[in-house]
Amino acid sequence: MQYIALKRARANVEHDGHIKAKAANNGKRTFDRYNGPHTKTKALLEDLLKSEAETAANPTLPPFKSVVFSSWTTHLDLIEMALDSVGITYSRLDGKMSRNARTKAMDEFRDNPSIHVILVSIMAGSLGLNLTSGNNVYVMEPQYNPAAEAQAVDRVHRLGQKRPVQTVRYIMRNSFEEKMIELQDKKKKLASLSMDGKGKALDRGDAARQKLMDLRSLFK
């Protein structure tokens, strides 16, 4: 895993806040006692602004569109504030929305040329959605269940995608998130213990021996 220092330009903005009721602010949460954006959101803004610049530099091509996944709707609220601060338009899809509202959010992301970003909660993003309008994927935090993360990202890779897809996962250095990545790798390894190197099912004896060797290697 490689870590790259990011330069800050327009992404170096600040906002304050504490979660308040949504009803008083056109359905959005407002914040007090919050100094942000934090490091990951700054990195996300930098990447989104680069994507906006690429779209502006290629007016004859469809706009570059981005799907941002997070486990936490409150995190999506904070990202909304950061996007508003730099003038990036977006739609949003999370598990608290009605089916009609979800459909509207996806339609806006697909059809509105001025909306280049959709914010999606991981659990909502794993429920058979089609997000092939996007070609950049940003995962804000690693998931305990790597399958849920993979299913969400697959919403962008599925049939109908016409462009190469870039996936970026933000991991904080020297944090619990690095341990989470190790745990994901172990889970993936355990899930594949019943297969040989060519993707074929092993017979019972070979599978047992392979599983024992792999389990030993996991706990060294």
Whether residue 116 contacts residue 133, with contact meaning beta carbons closer than 8 Å, is answered with no
Q: Which residue has the tokens 């569109």?
A: 65
Nearest to 88 by CA among 119, 111, 129: 119
Distance between CA atoms of 158 and 152, rounded to whole angstroms? 10
Segment (H or E) for 90: strand 90-93
CATH of domain 23-173: 3.40.50.300
Distance between CA atoms of 16 and 12, rounded to whole angstroms? 14
**Residue-by-residue pLDDT tens, the chain, 220 positions:** 444 444 444 455 544 433 333 434 555 555 556 666 788 999 999 999 999 999 999 999 999 999 999 999 999 999 999 999 999 999 999 988 888 999 999 999 999 999 999 999 988 765 668 899 999 999 999 887 788 888 888 889 887 788 899 999 998 888 878 877 777 777 677 666 555 555 565 567 766 776 676 556 545 5
Length of the chain, please? Answer: 220
Q: What is the pLDDT of residue 17?
A: 38
pTM of the model: 0.74
Domain boundaries, the chain: 23-173, 176-220
Q: What is the pLDDT of residue 128?
A: 66
Sign of the Cα torsion 14, 20, 21, 23 reads negative
